[in-house]
Structure 1
């Protein structure tokens, strides 16, 4: 009798320990059916069925009542799995040089609701973060959905474990602003349940792309992107962000790509940050930046609509060559299996993909023997989705404990 009880308890514990991995498989789209879930978890069909039923009872996923076959599939039909559209959400907030945005994000990286927020970021981080959290709280009240936590993306390296924004170069916040503490206080003050997390915007974009976008399936994913100003980078290794010993890894914007180039905020000269961002493109194309729209939008629109203009094309080629030089150096150091580009860099890749790939191949040690795929980011608002991933992570780690 004791043996049977022990065996039953062991099976139950094994099933519960599989809840997190199972939820992550559905969340990232890697287990569209119960049969795939069974195979990926390495458990019996009965255990996979029980795990799926538990996640459904928690309001996280949907299990189709009738098994069906995917188009073109062979073998036994299986119950389809999907995230529950009316399930819980995470609060996501992003601050950048041209404003902020609030959102609710469900499992699967699905944007449930967004609010554009303001277009002016003041020098007071507490005021700005308080305003975006208020927008988040309004979205949550209007939705009537359960909240698992909150995440904030900021255009700065965020030191760990303190959570201070060390170099918010393109917003007027003081260096070392305690953004994590401010955000957590604002979230609690607004009555938003769950934990609060803060991270660098490009790090979070890379995490979102790895789980739901162009980086899915990569083992060593390098992301390089222009925000509204400046350049950032991130590395995702085996599904986890590589942030270094104190959260400051992959400050790729301060790689020198033009020794005689523009002075950089870091004290150097000719860094990616000032040689390949939207302002650099507008200046190289001999266009005066206007105050009415973000620099990123102005640069992107110019590249798409006036690429035939000699000055615009020349500016694009100049930035592509400098970006390629920086990427080649990163390839030599990091040996990624995929590179994804965001912001204006994505538009530059679309404009002349062969030129960029040729520069990287010519300048990297392994460029000719095995070129690294260079792809555009595919998610809209990927930093927002990544901020939500921070809030979803405790649920993915242990759904029962997080939702208790």
Structure 2
């Protein structure tokens, strides 16, 4: 490395993380855009991009070509290295669990077949899902830089305990992060330095919101509200000024326990008529007069019913009922949080597609001053967004400090 390049890299070292995040989220498709976004010289941006390429994280187009009709010098295109490292992502939900390998850019590299049952002992299910992920790593030969787990529960910080796993038969306060980390160590999932990768855990809807904000329907939003059904219950998450807001101890946005029908169904929390039991897949199937079968997940049963039998009067009435309940809850959240965008996942995405005007009208009618009623309401766009979000937890240390995260790899190459 020449002295000039060394000097430029020293100046640009602090820009490595921000540069990688810009490419990771698709906001810097070319070196020219990267230069402008970082506020550095073109030469420094070139050295930073080259260093990220040396680390095996991105690829820089060596022969840039100008787009048709473009003016000026063509810029080198930047892209995530498709053969680069991955994060092991795992998700547990009420109807099963799944493991995947997710690369930078939110791209799923490999997915293990999902399981359809969740043992009451969290050790058993986390052992199974980590083993599935470790097998994917062995089969693909990919480098792993971290592991992330999404669970259907509020996760208390800093201990990583699942406080209220209402829809899986785990004990309250189960130390899921500790168990997950132990299983990752036992499975021999090693990072660049040859030591076990760091394991992270978060609430599934929080992680879905994080993934959608970086790679999906929430991209470009500053204050993003996400509400989704999951396989059971209703969850919510908030991204404020680009960062996931989890509150002082990880318990923010438990929106499932907003009361939307005071005379409604008893909720697991001890209250009555909460969103959790008034606007989830089981509530929809019940309102439509359909029995929930054990052979397919509740979310899939409800979504399939809505898509294929919307003309049935009972299904249409159930749709309207859930939209009204959901809209009431969203209006309350809009009045408190004033988001600039709302995204809906799970069954709520299907409800939005079925009757978008009705849902938006309910939110507008209940929102203050009329202005809040105009907030865009959009469907989530990522498949398995909680899995992608779990990977985002594992990617964050790399985005913060690429050189530090890959120090062991650099030593081996040297």
Aligned residue among 353, 356, 378 for 2:356: 353
Residues 240-259 of structure 1: pairs in structure 2 closer than 5 A = 240-259=243-262
- Where does 1:34-113 land on structure 2 (aligned, <5 Å)? 34-70=31-67, 73-113=70-110
Task: Decide whether aligned partners of structure 1 residues 94 and 233 sit closer, same or farther in structure 2, where only a CA change above 3 A counts.
Answer: same
* Per-residue deviation, 1:368: 4.5
1:67 to partner: Cα distance: 1.2
Which of 333, 336, 349 aligns to 1:333? It is 336
Distance in 1, matches of 2:7 and 2:47, equals 14
CA distance 1:375–1:74, change in 2 (3 Å)? farther
Preserved CA contact (<8 Å) 1:159 1:247: yes
- The alignment status of 1:153 with 2:150, answered yes or no, reads yes
Whether the 8 Å CA contact 1:92–1:104 is kept in 2: the answer is yes
Report deviation, 1:68. 1.9
- Structure 1 stretch 305-314 or stretch 73-82: which is displaced more? 73-82
Post-superposition offset of 1:74 = 3.9
Q: Deviations over 1:82-119 (max 9, x none)?
A: 00000000000000011100000001000000012321
Aligned-residue RMSD, C-alpha: 1.5
Please say which of residues 233-242 and 197-206 is displaced more in the overlay: 233-242
Distance in 2, Cα, partners of 1:374 & 1:283: 26
- Listed as ranges, the matches of 1:196-345 within 5 Å are 196-345=199-348
How far, CA to CA, are the matches of 1:132 and 1:72 in structure 2? Answer: 51
The two structures have a TM-score, normalised by structure 2, of: 0.94
* Aligned twin of 1:137: 134
1:75 positional shift: 3.3
In structure 2, how many angstroms separate the alpha carbons of the residues matched to 1:250 and 1:107? 27
Q: Distance in 1 between matches of 2:70 and 2:288?
A: 51
Contact 1:362 1:368 in 2 (8 A): no
Cα distance in structure 1, aligned partners of 2:10 and 2:362 = 53
Alpha-carbon distance between aligned partners in 2 of 1:118 and 1:77, rounded to the nearest angstrom: 49
Q: Distance in 1 between matches of 2:216 and 2:94?
A: 25
Q: Deviations over 1:281-304 (max 9, x none)?
A: 000001111111001000000000
Contact persistence 2:5–2:47 (CA under 8 A): no
Match of 1:3 in 2: none
CA 35–295 in structure 1, closer or farther in 2 if over 3 Å, else same = same
Unaligned runs of 5+ in 1: 1-5
- For the 8 Å contact 1:117–1:135, the answer to whether it is kept is no
Runs of 4+ in structure 1 over 6 Å off: 6-10
State the partner residue of 1:14.
11
Give deviations 1:205-240, integer Å, cap 9, x for gaps. 000000000000000000000010000000011221
TM-score (norm 1): 0.97
Q: How many residue pairs are counted as aligned between the two chains?
A: 400
Deviation at 1:8, TM superposition (A): 8.4
Which string of whole-angstrom CA distances, capped at 9 and with x for unpartnered residues, describes residues 136-185 of structure 1? Answer: 00000111111001000000000000100000000000000000000000
Query: Is contact 1:100–1:116 with CA below 8 Å preserved after alignment?
Result: no
> Which residue matches 2:20?
23
Distance 1:72 1:109, change over 3 A: farther
Q: 1:376 to 1:366 in 2, by over 3 A?
A: farther
